[in-house]
Structure 1
Amino acid sequence: MATLRATTVSQGRVAVSSRRVSVVVRADGQINPSIRKSEEKVADFVKASELPKPKAVFCRCWRAEKFPYCDGAHLKHNKETGDNVGPLVIDTAAAAPASQ
């Protein structure tokens, strides 16, 4: 749930009001349009030690041409549908303890 704040200025006075807004996004039909449709359930497992780079970005919109990796396809999907899906970002460098 998001909180919106509105500020109005009138005759030198500032009024601030807040209200909570709930946004519900529902998908019509299937969410996955084309990825591995012959499989009963698509699940990917990646060990952190096997990531191709210290930061891996995985698709969660099911539209990436490079699935399971994100290629930014969610941007077009979100614009067309009003959805707010984004990638799963795993940053192993952020999790590593700082060297002393």
Structure 2
Amino acid sequence: MEALSSLIKVSLANYIQNLPIPDSFFGILSLSIKDWLYMTPFIGGIGYVGFLTYRLLRPSQICNPSVNKASKKVVDIIDIEDMTSDKVSYCRCWRSKKFPLCDGSHNKHNEDTGDNAGPLVIKKNS
């Protein structure tokens, strides 16, 4: 454990202290190849931490979080002749507790993710 402590407290501190970080943005152009090679582990480490942070904080990529997960594909068929009201709203955000009908869950989903999902509204001609 002492070796790890020394590595972090002494070696890593010396490495960071000796990084050839330029004083200005255009000073980057004056860095030699040796300077860039010396900074590669540091830049790679910062990039890796940034990538892990992005993966941790990004919104879920799954559009269907909970509806009929046992099925290979979710398909709902509704005959328009069976509609009992003049207007029916169907969910397109997959968050509705009454799926396939819309219950307004897209409002919270849109607020949380910045998305713009809304229902599919079908109206009967009068």
In the alignment, the residues of structure 1 paired with residue 101 and residue 84 of structure 2 have an alpha-carbon distance, to the nearest angstrom, of: 11
Indicate the residue corresponding to 1:8 in structure 2. Answer: none
Count of residues in correspondence between the two structures = 68
When you count strand as a share of all residues, which structure comes out higher? 1
Runs of 4+ that moved beyond 3 A: none
Unaligned runs of 5+ in 2: 1-58
Q: TM-score w.r.t. structure 1 length?
A: 0.64
Unaligned runs of 5+ in 1: 1-26
In the alignment, the residues of structure 1 paired with residue 113 and residue 84 of structure 2 have an alpha-carbon distance, to the nearest angstrom, of: 31
Larger RCO of the pair (alpha carbons < 8 Å, separation 6+): 1
In the alignment, the residues of structure 2 paired with residue 37 and residue 63 of structure 1 have an alpha-carbon distance, to the nearest angstrom, of: 13
The alignment's C-alpha RMSD in Å is: 1.3
SS at match of 2:98: coil
When you count helix as a share of all residues, which structure comes out higher? 2
Q: CA deviation at 1:28?
A: 4.2
Task: State which structure, 1 or 2, has the greater radius of gyration over its C-alpha atoms.
Answer: 2
Give the share of equivalent positions with the same residue, in percent.
Answer: 47
